[in-house]
Amino acid sequence: AVDGKSIAGKDADLATGQIKGEAGTPVTLTVLRPSTEKTRDYDLERRELVVPAVETKLEMAGGKPVGYIRLLGFSRGAHAELRQAVEKLDERGAEGLIVDLRGNGGGLLDEAVLTSSVFVEDGTIVSTKGRTQPDKTFEAAGDAVEPRPTVVLINGDSASASEIFTAALNDAGVADVVGEKSFGKGVFQEVISLEHGGALDITVGEYLTRDGVSLAGDGIEPEIPSVDKLKTKPDEGLQGALDALGAALSQPSDSPQQ
């Protein structure tokens, strides 16, 4: 239970939603021990959880150095970490980039827009079409990094904000998409609190690309299919992205991504 309200049997997102709160505020968790059938209260203080949003390294593609960025989530500040990662890889001589979104289930909408804006200079990033809220359009923030050959790597666990980012870069012509079809969670929810501590998590709208295509349901189909082998050696998904990036780097300098 959270502050006396039971979360037994609830969806993980709903349960964590009740635990989360403003940093510095108290929360009491009541835990049931199955072995004794007894409960114990834990009085805690909420604190800000800071988890790095990106991991980077230098790879080789087509005989040239390229940057690899694994974007782990779209938490607060992810766009600043992403921009800093791109700049540091530039300093190390990277001539192209791979942004790995495999396993990235999404995050904050505003971070999806801001991270996309790191690469997309202008135009629509995403728009929303809702049942309970007015339709909205989110534009690129401007001040994008210098265009360079870029590949976005996705799989079936790339969802929500990951799909917004992928579609925005691809539709703007600044990145190719490699990997497996994404999850297809182009919708957003609204949590409605009920009496006795219950809640309903209801889908109230969908996300649309700059071309007006819904991101809900079907997922994003990669232009260059590559088997997802994130946890195996060698990483076949990453190799597919490196091959695609190497091919892009071998194109004339007036190619669309450069």
Among residues 171, 176, 228, 235, which one is catalytic? Answer: 171
Q: Is 160 one of the annotated active-site residues of the chain?
A: yes
CA distance 118 to 82: 8
Structure tokens at 69: 């960025």
- Given a contact cutoff of 8 angstroms between Cβ atoms, the answer to whether 81 and 75 are in contact is no
Please choose, from the candidates 5, 54, 61, the residue with its C-alpha nearest in 3D space to the C-alpha of residue 248.
Answer: 61
Among residues 116, 185, 226, 228, which one is catalytic? Answer: 185
DSSP state of 228: -
H/E element, 42? strand 38-45
Q: Which residues are bridge partners to 40 per DSSP?
A: 31
Q: Is 171 one of the annotated active-site residues of the chain?
A: yes
Query: How is 142-193 classified by DSSP, letter by letter?
Result: S-PPPP--EEEEE-TT--THHHHHHHHHHHTTS-EEEES----B-EEEEEEE
Among residues 160, 162, 182, 226, which one is catalytic? Answer: 160
Q: Is 185 one of the annotated active-site residues of the chain?
A: yes
- The single-letter code of the amino acid at 146 is E
Q: In what order do the strands lie in the sheet with 187-193?
A: 136-139, 124-130, 199-208, 187-193
Its sign, for the CA torsion 92, 93, 97, 98, is negative
Enumerate the active-site residues.
160, 171, 185
